[in-house]
């Protein structure tokens, strides 16, 4: 167990709908990352938050948004869902110094999203 | 942006043999290169990493080499065991000062170790 929790574990919804995925980082970790893992595209970095602020963006669609709250948990919002959004969504957290740099990140168990 | 290529996509080796997975990257700003192991149905886990100021790093049966000039890095697993069977991902990370970390992953290598 990495200490990172994600809810829900599974989510089944229909095209056009909106869902929210939740992540709680390890105690003390200020940085949260979101990833999408689909069969045909591998692991893709979506976005990073540090202490409530967006810090880096990857291949995140405009239909997707995220935020990190004062208690450091994070939510990934996916709207106008399409069949191709079906994937495993991971969040990861790490200790990260304000000055940047990198520390090992710990992945949560993932949320499996199925769009029908 | 950064582009990471990973080869091979699948790899089968006999138990006890070595396995080598190679990655190339395009952006010279990448300065951190982690490798992850993902077992079926589980989360990715960091197994080894290397920073751009180091050419080689070893941890027991696992080693990573980095050639910054050629922009490629490799994972070496020696004396492979059946429990090494998993999907391995390389990543190139750009870590600018005072901003976030941008991750770029390879497409993964499915390693099977045959007993």
Tens-digit pLDDT profile for residues B18-76: 999 999 999 998 988 999 999 988 999 999 999 888 899 999 999 999 999 999 999 99
Quote the CA–CA distance of B64 and B58 in Å, as a whole number.
Answer: 6
Residues B98 and A99: beta-carbon distance below 8 Å? yes
- Residue B6 structure tokens: 């990973």
Are B99 and A100 inside 8 Å of each other by CB? yes
| Residue in chain B lying closest to A39 (CA) | B107
pLDDT for A63-72, tens place per residue? Answer: 999 999 999 9
Write the DSSP string, B14-75: ETTS-EEEEEE---TT--EEEEEEE-TTS--EEEEEEETT-SEEEETTEEEEEETTTTEEEE
Calculate how close chain B gets to A54, using CA atoms only, in Å: 8
Of the candidates B32, B101, B106, the beta carbon closest to that of A48 is on B101
Residues A64 and A79: beta-carbon distance below 8 Å? yes
Q: Is the dihedral of CA A97, B48, B32, A63 positive or negative?
A: negative
Residues of chain A contacting residue B98, judged by C-beta atoms under 8 Å apart: 98-100
Of the candidates A2, A55, A58, the beta carbon closest to that of B43 is on A2
């Amino acid at each position: 167990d990495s200490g990172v929790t994600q809810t829900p574990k599974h989510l089944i919804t229909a095209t056009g709908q909106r869902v929210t995925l939740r992540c709680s980082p390890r105690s003390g970790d200020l940085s949260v990352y979101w990833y999408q893992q689909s069969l045909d595209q591998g692991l893709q970095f979506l976005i990073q938050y540090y202490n409530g602020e967006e810090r880096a963006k990857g291949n995140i669609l405009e239909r997707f948004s995220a935020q990190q709250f004062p208690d450091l948990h994070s939510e990934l919002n996916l709207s106008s869902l399409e069949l191709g959004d079906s994937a495993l969504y991971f969040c990861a957290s790490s200790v990260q110094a304000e000055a940047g740099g990198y520390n090992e990140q710990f992945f949560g168990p993932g949320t499996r999203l199925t769009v029908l | 942006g950064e582009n990471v290529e990973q080869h091979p996509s699948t790899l089968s080796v006999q138990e006890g043999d070595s396995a080598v997975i190679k990655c190339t990257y395009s952006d010279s700003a990448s300065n951190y290169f982690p490798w992850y192991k993902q077992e079926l149905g589980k989360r990715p886990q960091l197994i080894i990493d290397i920073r751009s100021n180091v050419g080689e790093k070893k941890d027991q049966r696992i080693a990573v080499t980095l050639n910054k000039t050629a922009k490629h890095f490799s994972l070496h697993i020696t004396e492979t065991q059946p429990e090494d069977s998993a999907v391995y991902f390389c990543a190139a990370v750009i870590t600018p000062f005072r901003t976030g970390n941008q991750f770029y992953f390879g497409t993964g290598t499915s390693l099977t170790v045959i007993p």
